[in-house]
Structure 1
Amino acid sequence: MCRIALSLCAMGAASLGIAAPAASESAKGDADRPNVLLIVADDLGYSDLGAFGGEIPTPNLDQLANQGMLLTNHYVTPTCSPTRAALMAGTDNHLAGLGTMGEYLPQAPKLQGKPGYEGYLNDRVYWLPEVMRDAGYHTYMAGKWHLGTKPEQWPVARGFEHSFALINGGGSHFAPVPGKPIFADRAQYVEDDQRTELPTDFYSSKSYTDKLIQYVKQNHGDGKPFFAWAAYTAPHWPLHAPDEDIQKFKGQYAAGYEAIRAARLERLKSLGLMDEDAQPNLGLPKSKDYPSWDMLTPEEQANEARRMEVYAAMVHNMDRHVGRLIQTLKDLGEYDNTLVIFMSDNGAEATDSFFPPNENTDNSVENIGRRLSNVGYGARWAEVSATPFRLFKGYTAEGGISSPAFVRLPGQNGSTERINVPTHVTDIAPTILDFAGIRLPEGNKYNGRAVSPMSGVTLAPVLKGDASTEQLANRVLVGELFGGRYVRDGKWKLVSVMVPFAKNEWELYDLEQDRSESHNVAAEHPEIVMQMVRLWDQYVVQNGVVFAPNERMPDVRRGAKSEIKLPGAKAH
């Protein structure tokens, strides 16, 4: 087994045969430096985009993907704010302050006060926008922040020159209805350093795009490149979309979960993203809580189909506004000088309804997706979005941590290429810095504060065709959230997903043969399990992972050291 333990050893870009990005000091002049557009969807499943086998029309994102390179094994954390922390810091979420989500710290007293569990993007890591700004870039963001609620933790305090941000983890995609507040209206918005109210015509994807276009245009022509983060909240709950978008999908999901999932798998195969003999994970066992389509009444089927229609409308709508962003870059003459990176922050969300209803909530079938509605689309549709993987957001199974992702290089207009080896969210910041010619200072200090080194690696040499993917193929990736954990080493994945209906012991999967995690081979390979557990234990120590009971994952009851119960293997 290879010992290129990137997450464990803070291995830098030099591992791929180039200099690590070392100031922010720029090795290029402004005219030579590309703009960077980072697009992040919220709770988008692996197979939701057309480029990844989905039936939802996403022509703008598909065109970007088809001109660029698909990252078919791109890993993120199981939920949103830990991924965003790793994205902005280029290092493990436990070092960046989001060892758990801030919302769940009150439920986990043993995590409170522990380094790396502050519940916000802490000051012991690099902040990508700050580094970019200090190196002469304009820095803009619009959309979901979720990395700290206090003014000293807002985007403007972390290096964004201009920002229009949803501070919380979620909220209504529409402006509040006057006199009829619902729980989802409690979201906080800020612009730069001021709290702000939403305009009456607010819709998340449109309004975030409007702001980002405004920011990009206002400084265009001054000779400085920009870093812009489009942090969309679609398709995160509550499911909301304009009526004209919802109408486009009427009747398209009446066939039900199983039929839509099967069709997606066939498209994944036809695209070459899955082997011809690939089988999907069978999903959650059928029960009254997790019924199959044929167990539902006609009324329940209509309700479920409507939810997926709205979800599809949200994805389609987001894609249209991405198209507006791209057209703006073309109109400004900047498109072919812009690095575009797209990813989702985690797998699909299995929530049926998160915010509690009140007297103003209207979740009737006819109103789902409109103002005052407040629903998600549930576990079965989340399994569809995760096709062909196991589980969804919140879990370290492939369905929770595999993100649809792609990169389009400046000026790249060729046919789709693919990077099929593992990449990771922590690679994004080093990759951006490399393309921008920005070198981080030596000594792990930045602007007077001690910082953890970026543990991700630059993908630039591979993306440019200057390096092979061999070292990425053999890298070790390790992660943890809510007690769920995984180790990926080459083709092997060791995982404990921490779900109420499982034993939550270590499981081992050969992802080359079984990426759907359907055949646990831990009993056949106890020696590999033991080797990978040692990697896990190193990760715990080096990243300050603390195990503690968490009310959201009630089965998390173990200490940091692993218990293995396999034939021929001693408990560890």
Structure 2
Amino acid sequence: ESRMARKTARRKLALCAGAAAGVLSLLGAEGASAAPALKGPERTRPNIIVILFDDVALMDLGAYGGEARTPNIDRLARQGARFTGYRTSPLCTPSRAMLLTGLDNHRAGAATIEEILPPEMRNRPGYRLRIEPEVLTIAERLRAEGYRTLMAGKWHLGHGPGELPDGQGFDRSLALDASGADNWAPRPYMPYYTEAPWYEDGRPAKMPGSFYSSDLLVDRLTRYIDEAPAGRAPFFAYLALQAVHIPVQAPARYADGYRGRFDGGWEALRQARTARARQLGLLPDGAAVDGFSPDARDWDALPAHERRIAARSMEVYAGMIEAADAAIGRLIQRLEARGELDNTLFVVTSDNGPEPSDPVHQRGMGLWMRTHGYAWRLEGLGGPGSLNYIGREWAEALAAPGRRYKFYVSEGGIRAPLIVSGPGVAPGRRIDGLTFVTDVTPTLADFAGARATPEAPAMDGISLRAVLEGGGGAVRGPNSSLGIEVSGNAALYRGDYKIVRDMPPLGDGRWRLYDIARDPGETRELSGAEPERLQALLADYAAYEARVGVAPLPPGYTIQKQLTANALARQAPLLAALVGVLALVVGGAGLLAWRWRRRGRGGA
């Protein structure tokens, strides 16, 4: 209640500040300032829709050379700006916290995700894994300016009263309070969860018995938009899709459109994407690209049935993206019918790179899947009851031209698509400069004319409005540094260079230096050739850690071990109940056997 009171008080202060201030001043951590704010009375404020994909790689969308058909998103890209230097965090919760607040994930309150958080780090500042009380979301900033604020999709930014979307500035919301869930029914997708916790406006939601997630989320968001007549007040809508998070599921009519498309295997896909990356300018001429991890499986050496199910998993993956695009198309059509499309600003992006995990073949998953109605087989793959995934080799292929994938801060894990389209955005723009997920909130606040909120923490991101409107110049200066850290995986950018530290099992925890402008594939390590530059960037990173409050990990920490430990802890009550039932069954059987033996001896 006290947290809610502080939020309410801040909103009132924001309204007062909005009436008093005529200029938005959003200062970045490195001294970069936002462009002057729009003044509300002088122009119509745009509606704003942020569409966040889950685990979509840089080149997954059609506008970036992907295999999936995404005509509606491609249309937005043609009419607006396509970013090629956009980076995010390697995991969902930190990215979402930064996207919605404009602050570094530690300052916002979501340093990592709860599934891999060590117990000794819980409740530390920045590691409570909820948006901190003093932090304002973009929804709160815009609601203070008279916007209706709407949300549908994955939340994963806190639990319970005050921490769900209704406590973070959203007027209406249908929110999944978990890292993911089944796309066909309200049920969990992994043993960490005992349910699929859906909430509407902060209360447990009554979900349909069956649905498809992209259709459900877009339909619900459209309903919220239609609750007010067009033009009465601008709206901010946040659509957080489940596509293409595990379980990878899609209607067969979409997946079947890619029959045979991936039969050549993951090596062929990575080579094809690398070639398209050169054609599209996502990879400089002559730049090298790493191959697969040394222990990656040889596609041609796999048994035929394994190749078929692996290829089908990618057909479903592409179909899931196309199904999401089709749902987005219906949203666009509804806005057009309302007469609001021309005054709607769209942002389309992803929270991190592609997902490498294989949940099906983990120890104990067979029993869990059977008890929860899941199967993994070629027949019906991606349909209801199918726990489909793409796995590590496909993730490495999808991450081209980058290295590695989700969880890691190598380029494959954090270089993501970003499309911005709508009023005030110059059409057909390609923006190559380094941009970051924290830049989204100050940009939207700038376009909406949101006023300064001095009582809230200053945002780390910068407004991109000037470059979106067609202005020249770099997004960030050559001496501006940008740090990232999630569960020990860390990076820092400065000018054309990047230092990166990937932790086990793929990494070794050692810092490496790359010229990221000429070598985005991170193939030429420069620490030995440029030790002074390495030390300068390490000093910048140490300053970043101190500023945002990065906490040291416990000895021996790995993401995989912590995920297993946390899942077992979450399932402990269920496991105890099962053990109790088993003990009763065994004890009862023993008692019956004893009585039978006694009766037999008496009869003799």
TM class by smaller structure: 0.7 to 0.9
> What is the rounded CA distance, in whole Å, between the counterparts of 1:8 and 1:437 in structure 2?
18
Match of 1:187 among 180, 196, 209: 196
Q: Which residue of 1 aligns with 2:514?
A: 509
Q: Which residue of 2 aligns with 1:112?
A: 122
> What is the rounded CA distance, in whole Å, between the counterparts of 1:309 and 1:171 in structure 2?
20
8 Å Cα contact 2:173-2:201 kept in structure 1:
yes
Q: Which residue of 1 aligns with 2:160?
A: 150
> What is the rounded CA distance, in whole Å, between the counterparts of 2:382 and 2:194 in structure 1?
15
Distance 1:518 1:38, change over 3 A: same
Match of 2:50 among 34, 38, 51: 38
8 Å Cα contact 2:28-2:461 kept in structure 1:
no
One-letter identity of the residue aligned with 1:457 = I
**In terms of mean alpha carbon deviation, does 239-248 or 88-97 score higher?**
239-248
Q: Does 1:304 align with 2:310?
A: yes
Match of 1:277 among 279, 286, 291: 286
Q: Which residue of 2 aligns with 1:97?
A: 109
> What is the rounded CA distance, in whole Å, between the counterparts of 2:189 and 2:537 in structure 1?
50
Q: Which residue of 2 aligns with 1:259?
A: 268
One-letter identity of the residue aligned with 2:440 = I
Q: Which residue of 2 aligns with 1:175?
A: 185
User: What does the per-residue CA deviation read over 1:24-60, in whole Å, with 9 as the maximum and x for residues that have no partner?
Assistant: xx83139611111111000001111111111211111
Q: Which residue of 1 aligns with 2:404?
A: 391
8 Å Cα contact 1:31-1:223 kept in structure 2:
no
**In terms of mean alpha carbon deviation, does 490-499 or 465-474 score higher?**
465-474
Q: Which residue of 2 aligns with 1:430?
A: 442
Q: 1:333-412 alignment to 2 at 5 Å?
A: 333-353=339-359, 356=365, 357-359=368-370, 360-410=373-423
**In terms of mean alpha carbon deviation, does 260-269 or 537-546 score higher?**
260-269
User: What does the per-residue CA deviation read over 1:524-552, in whole Å, with 9 as the maximum and x for residues that have no partner?
Assistant: 11000000000011011110100113341
Q: Which residue of 1 aligns with 2:548?
A: 543
> What is the rounded CA distance, in whole Å, between the counterparts of 1:312 and 1:125 in structure 2?
37
> What is the rounded CA distance, in whole Å, between the counterparts of 2:380 and 2:148 in structure 1?
41
Distance 1:8 1:429, change over 3 A: closer
Q: 1:70-149 alignment to 2 at 5 Å?
A: 70-105=82-117, 108-149=118-159
Give the secondary-structure state (helix, strand or coil) at the position aligned to 2:129: coil
Distance 1:312 1:392, change over 3 A: same
Distance 1:540 1:221, change over 3 A: same
Q: Which residue of 2 aligns with 1:165?
A: 175
8 Å Cα contact 2:71-2:325 kept in structure 1:
yes
Q: Which residue of 1 aligns with 2:466?
A: 461
> What is the rounded CA distance, in whole Å, between the counterparts of 1:102 and 1:301 in structure 2?
34
Distance 1:331 1:30, change over 3 A: farther
8 Å Cα contact 1:522-1:529 kept in structure 2:
yes
**In terms of mean alpha carbon deviation, does 54-63 or 273-282 score higher?**
273-282
Task: Give the deviation of 1:280 after TM superposition.
Answer: 2.4
Give the secondary-structure state (helix, strand or coil) at the position aligned to 1:367: coil
> What is the rounded CA distance, in whole Å, between the counterparts of 1:498 and 1:351 in structure 2?
16
8 Å Cα contact 2:230-2:339 kept in structure 1:
no
**In terms of mean alpha carbon deviation, does 263-272 or 341-350 score higher?**
263-272
Q: Does 1:293 align with 2:299?
A: yes
Q: 1:192-203 alignment to 2 at 5 Å?
A: 192-203=201-212
> What is the rounded CA distance, in whole Å, between the counterparts of 2:232 and 2:161 in structure 1?
31
Give the secondary-structure state (helix, strand or coil) at the position aligned to 1:418: strand
Distance 1:80 1:176, change over 3 A: closer
> What is the rounded CA distance, in whole Å, between the counterparts of 2:190 and 2:513 in structure 1?
44
Q: Does 1:420 align with 2:427?
A: no
One-letter identity of the residue aligned with 1:219 = A
Q: Which residue of 2 aligns with 1:564?
A: none
User: What does the per-residue CA deviation read over 1:241-264, in whole Å, with 9 as the maximum and x for residues that have no partner?
Assistant: 112112112221111011112112
Task: Give the deviation of 1:474 after TM superposition.
Answer: 4.9
> What is the rounded CA distance, in whole Å, between the counterparts of 2:461 and 2:134 in structure 1?
16
One-letter identity of the residue aligned with 1:395 = Y
Give the secondary-structure state (helix, strand or coil) at the position aligned to 1:119: coil
8 Å Cα contact 2:435-2:475 kept in structure 1:
no
> What is the rounded CA distance, in whole Å, between the counterparts of 1:181 and 1:518 in structure 2?
36
Distance 1:203 1:114, change over 3 A: same
> What is the rounded CA distance, in whole Å, between the counterparts of 2:403 and 2:299 in structure 1?
18
Give the secondary-structure state (helix, strand or coil) at the position aligned to 2:120: coil
Q: TM-score if structure 2 supplies the norm length?
A: 0.83
**In terms of mean alpha carbon deviation, does 164-173 or 273-282 score higher?**
273-282
Give the secondary-structure state (helix, strand or coil) at the position aligned to 2:238: strand
Q: Does 1:315 align with 2:321?
A: yes
> What is the rounded CA distance, in whole Å, between the counterparts of 1:60 and 1:368 in structure 2?
26
8 Å Cα contact 1:97-1:118 kept in structure 2:
yes
**In terms of mean alpha carbon deviation, does 539-548 or 30-39 score higher?**
30-39
Task: Give the deviation of 1:411 after TM superposition.
Answer: 6.6
Match of 2:78 among 59, 66, 89: 66
Flag the structure with larger Rg: 2
8 Å Cα contact 1:7-1:92 kept in structure 2:
no
One-letter identity of the residue aligned with 1:163 = S
Match of 1:56 among 68, 81, 86: 68
One-letter identity of the residue aligned with 2:391 = G
Match of 2:457 among 437, 442, 452: 452
Q: Which residue of 2 aligns with 1:552?
A: 559
Structure with greater proportional helix content: 2
Give the secondary-structure state (helix, strand or coil) at the position aligned to 2:396: helix
> What is the rounded CA distance, in whole Å, between the counterparts of 1:58 and 1:132 in structure 2?
30
Q: Which consecutive residues of structure 1, in runs of 5 or more, have no partner in the other structure?
A: 1-5, 446-450, 556-572
Q: Which residue of 2 aligns with 1:225?
A: 234
User: What does the per-residue CA deviation read over 1:163-200, in whole Å, with 9 as the maximum and x for residues that have no partner?
Assistant: 111111101001159xx998578211011122113213
One-letter identity of the residue aligned with 1:548 = L
Q: Which residue of 1 aligns with 2:16?
A: none
Give the secondary-structure state (helix, strand or coil) at the position aligned to 2:543: helix
Give the secondary-structure state (helix, strand or coil) at the position aligned to 1:32: coil
Give the secondary-structure state (helix, strand or coil) at the position aligned to 1:153: coil
One-letter identity of the residue aligned with 2:512 = E
Aligned residues: percent identity? 36
> What is the rounded CA distance, in whole Å, between the counterparts of 1:386 and 1:533 in structure 2?
26
> What is the rounded CA distance, in whole Å, between the counterparts of 2:424 and 2:449 in structure 1?
17
> What is the rounded CA distance, in whole Å, between the counterparts of 2:444 and 2:424 in structure 1?
16
Task: Give the deviation of 1:498 after TM superposition.
Answer: 0.9
Distance 1:121 1:60, change over 3 A: same
Distance 1:458 1:176, change over 3 A: closer
> What is the rounded CA distance, in whole Å, between the counterparts of 1:472 and 1:241 in structure 2?
43
Match of 2:223 among 214, 217, 221: 214
Distance 1:284 1:419, change over 3 A: same
Q: Which residue of 1 aligns with 2:538?
A: 533
> What is the rounded CA distance, in whole Å, between the counterparts of 2:511 and 2:426 in structure 1?
44
